[in-house]
Amino acid sequence: MASDTLTVTDNRTGNSFELEINDGTVRAMDFRQMKASDDDFGLMTYDPAYTNTAACRSGVTYLDGEGGVLRYGGYPIEQLAEHSTFPEVAYLLYHGELPSASALESWNAELKSAAIVDPSIKAIISSFNRDAHPMGMLQAVVAALGTLHPESKEFTPEGELRDSIALIAKTATVGAWAYRHNTGQELLDPDPDLSYAANLLYMMFGDKDVDPRLEKALDVLLILHADHEQNCSTTAMRGVGSSDADAFASASSAIGALYGPLHGGANEAVLGVLNRIGTKDKVEGFVEKVKNREELLMGFGHRVYKNYDPRATIIKAAADDVFEVTGVNPLLEVAKALEATALEDDFFVSRKLYPNVDFYSGLIYEALGIPTEMFTVMFAVGRMPGWAAQWREMRNDKEQKIARPRQVYVGPDERDYAGVDAR
């Protein structure tokens, strides 16, 4: 039987090394023994943007990008979207198992009580410019929450759970407050009688009587965003958390990473693209621009998915339910025509570029009355359980240390000082 090892010959020296293969990986540190001379510190691996580096072992989310498969704790995303709720999925991500009925009841009660945010935070929100981007406010305020919870600097299993619940619950309140501030309205406290999704809509729009189909659609969107293994923002959460920064500081950094248009900000950018295209007859012209590298087709492509993003399939179906209540958004026709044109074009086919989660989500948010600037906030609210679960997993993984990649130095050699010499 073939052994699970890799034999590497260093042609600089002729030495051979046998490296262990575990779970389809070799250890980067095993290359350090390969030295060209005695004073050489050994080979490193070079992987800008971590395109082929597993930085952790994780049991939270399984993603098969070729097959278009996504599972949380082993459960297919399709089943969770159909049967579960966002708080239950949050429990699953954090604890690794679905809760019993009584465990879910206490989890929901804890989330509801943690959704109350200290009134001093209202003053911080009010100090932002009226047109401040809500993601900037969310990032700042989540960091500020840490100042109200100095106990979060002492890490215990109970403390990690407490801070995770606080983050999952309070992000909805703070996100809604950012919207209320933008629109010059009173900041509303959460109502414990409402579900997580209904409460989020209530704190934004002040209406407790939401159509259950819209409440369900938002809940499904939050489920679909809840985790996505080692994406850019989760890597930020883990990386910052690895320095023993508290959960709030780490989550604030993750929100910053999500803000970018290549990541969570893509949902906002997609609406910009659809609005600019405007009508179906302009789709082909836009696609030509993408092929000429004048534009990116936002909401398309993914580092890991080389197949249809399963979340996009679920969102497309949810959009139909929402439009039954709200009436069809004319941009849906543009989006569908854009998708169809791209998927028939060799530029996209040969690069395996398919719609991702952000392609259709904005259309649903818009139908729910949520303004474009708030789309990425909704993503952040949905992703918080994943960030919390991954943060806790990182903290309890004995192999993890402070995240600290290496570099290949390409700057000048040593040289003598040649500045102004102001002394």
What is the C-alpha to C-alpha distance for residues 135 and 179, in angstroms, rounded to an integer? 10
Catalytic residue selected from 163, 219, 309, 358: 358
Say whether residue 164 binds ligand CMC (CB under 6 A).
no
- Footprint on residues 300-319 left by ligand CMC (CB under 6 A): 300-303
**Binding ligand CMC by CB under 6 A: which of 290, 318, 322, 363?**
290
**357 is an interface residue for ligand CMC by CB under 6 A:** yes
Which of 383, 382, 369, 380 has the alpha carbon at shortest distance from 135? Answer: 380
Q: Which helix (H) or strand (E) holds 70?
A: strand 69-72
Q: Which is nearer to ligand CMC, 61 or 173 (CB)?
A: 61
For 66-70, the CB contacts below 8 A with 24+ separation are 66/306, 66/307, 67/307, 68/305, 68/307, 68/308, 68/309, 68/310, 69/310, 70/228, 70/310, 70/311
Residue 302 known to be catalytic: yes
Residue 385 is a binding residue for ligand CMC (CB under 6 A) = no
**What is the C-alpha separation between 209 and 392, in angstroms, rounded?**
36
Spatial separation of the C-alpha atoms in residues 395 and 401, rounded to whole Å? 9
* Whether 181 is catalytic: no
Least distance from C-beta 25 to ligand CMC, angstroms? 20
Does residue 339 belong to the site contacting ligand CMC (CB under 6 A)?
no
Which CB atom, from 318 or from 357, has the smaller least distance to ligand CMC? Answer: 357
| Rounded CA separation 253/142 (Å) | 9
CA atoms within 13 A on the CB side of 400: 23
Interacting residue with ligand CMC among 169, 217, 266, 318 (CB under 6 A): 266
Q: Which residue has the tokens 């305020």?
A: 141
Complex with ligand CMC: residue 99 or 362, whichever CB lies closer? 362
- Are residues 264 and 316 in contact, defined by beta-carbon separation less than 8 angstroms? no
Binding test (CB under 6 A) with ligand CMC, winner from 58, 253, 356, 390: 356
Q: What pairs with residue 18 in β-bridges? A: 7
125 belongs to the binding site for ligand CMC (CB under 6 A):
no
Q: Which is nearer to ligand CMC, 67 or 157 (CB)?
A: 67
* 194/312 with CB nearer ligand CMC: 312
Cβ 219 to ligand CMC shortest distance, Å: 19
Q: Does 349 bind ligand CMC (CB under 6 A)?
A: no
Which residue matches tokens 């459960």?
Answer: 75
* Contacts (CB under 6 A) with ligand CMC, residues 37-96: none
What positions carry a catalytic annotation? Answer: 263, 302, 358
- Contact residues toward ligand CMC (CB under 6 A) are 231, 262-264, 266, 290, 296-303, 351, 353, 356-358
